[in-house]
Amino acid sequence: MPLAAKKLLRREDIDAVVTIGCVIQGETAHDEIVVSQAARKLMDLSLEFDKPVTLGITGPKMSRPDAHKRVDYAKRAVEAAVKLLQRLGGE
């Protein structure tokens, strides 16, 4: 996800990036590492490009049924990006 966000952030016609996804718990703690590192890198990219990047990634320790229950939460990540742009003086 950070690579896709970085490619979008390079574009002048992109004001913000919203990341949406779900990390499902597996047999190891890998889901915790994935979420932690994705969040860190996305924050770094936001600061590097001076553009909002909102985190709509749910997890870790999430089951598939839990993930399906939270699909509507993705809307909040989009709303957060729009509000942040407005507060920062964007469009």
Contact (Cβ atoms closer than 8 angstroms) between residue 27 and residue 37: no
Q: Which residue has the higher pLDDT, 35 or 49?
A: 49
Q: Tell me what pLDDT residue 90 has.
A: 54
Residue 88 CA, distance from chain mean position: 19
pLDDT digits (tens, 9 = 90+) for 48-88: 999 999 988 887 788 888 888 887 777 888 888 889 889 98
Q: Give the fold, CATH level 3, of 2-86.
A: Rossmann fold (3.40.50)
Q: Write out the catalytic residue numbers.
A: 30
Taking the C-alpha atoms of residue 24 and residue 28, their distance in angstroms, rounded to an integer, is 11
Q: Tell me what pLDDT residue 52 has.
A: 93
On average, the pLDDT of the chain sits at: 88
Provide the whole-model pTM: 0.79
